[in-house]
Structure 1
């Protein structure tokens, strides 16, 4: 199996696990998940300490790209021109059915960062963002395999269930249950000399 795909599946499973830790739901049922990972390796070409900007080689050695860093980039003074930079971006989505009836549409967001430590002073770190969008089931049509969902924005959306295995389980759904779509993005930056 492709190592990137294996990692993507692991991230998707971790997303499902972390989704359950967001809020304790006694009866959450995972429905589906998917993840993608991208990796870019580049090199630092310029550093502007005063303005907290770092420039790296652009894709395919075309125009360089400059990043504006925040005050949270505490290890910026450790970065040197010529340092190798690996940037990993992982995006995952997981769908979870709450078997309780009566949940309301809503959206919540959580984010955080992890930076260099004393044991690893190289500039870099991780940032994550997780958004949970809860939609309420308003209608179930077993003949057409469609479920009508009311998301927080308030505009009813009809979802066609294509997977035969999920179609067979549609008879267990109830109007008033909620479906959570959990979107997770992780950005990891590693530097080395």
Structure 2
């Protein structure tokens, strides 16, 4: 399947994806093979149902939130390029040695800032640029299930918002989120070793 995957991807596409994501040629062809094995309709895109068949996401309490991150707002399908772009957030940061010399390229997808932004969006369920008390409560409830009483969880959420909300609007902005996690090792916690 790996050799077939490399013949279905044009060399120009592979080069563009390499520049954009930082994945190597062999990683891209292996990811393409995985992508095509998930593509049950064989139409070159994946649906949420396709991604739910990944065992690691199926058992992850935030699996549905992670899966939704693969899709642009209003979209219900993701192509291979979007798939690799999302996965690139989980590349270890030390893999940024081959960073593009293109000054318009900006930060690598797997930079600390972009990893934090990806994480922030998992909590910002309505995509309004703020994490409300209800959104934080909802995500934490997904994470802990019924292991913590609602009152205890509510207390944790209130303390977190109080601690993180420096402008007093009872929600967490991205800047608040970054400050809250400044000592958190997002580089290690949000990294998956890809296909080495």
TM-score by length of 2: 0.21
Structure that is richer in helix per residue: 2
Q: Max radius of gyration: which structure? A: 1
Q: Determine which structure has the larger strand proportion and give its number.
A: 1
User: What is the TM-score of this pair, normalised by structure 1?
Assistant: 0.22
Greater length-normalized contact order (CA 8 Å, ≥ 6 residues apart): 1
